[in-house]
Amino acid sequence: MAHVTYKIIRHEDGWAYAVKGTISESYPTHVEALAAARRAAAEQRQTGETETIEYEDENGRWHTEQAPGRDRPQTDVEDST
């Protein structure tokens, strides 16, 4: 099973969370960024319907695959402050 870690970081004039190189929107406070990361991590663990997804990889190539609704990753939030 995959594992995804949401990391709380300083970003612009506030705080954000980062996941696999992607940074969320900025939040004015650390508390708000932490709450948003916890919500996102919880939502990602929720089962759903099997769907076709498309995504672009780090080399700019697009992929299409089936995402099983029950194949959800384990998630956690890392707060280094």
**What residue segments make up the domains of the chain, in order of their start?**
3-78
Contact 42, 58 (CB under 8 A): no
Name the percent of the chain lying above pLDDT 90.
74
Contact 16, 33 (CB under 8 A): yes
pLDDT tens per residue across span 49-69: 999 999 998 899 999 999 888
Task: Enumerate residues 6+ apart whose C-beta is below 8 A from 50.
Answer: 66, 67, 68, 69
DSSP 35-55: HHHHHHHHHHHS----EEEEE
Identity of the amino acid at 58: E
Instruction: Judge whether residue 1 has pLDDT over 90.
Output: no
Name the percent of the chain lying above pLDDT 70.
99
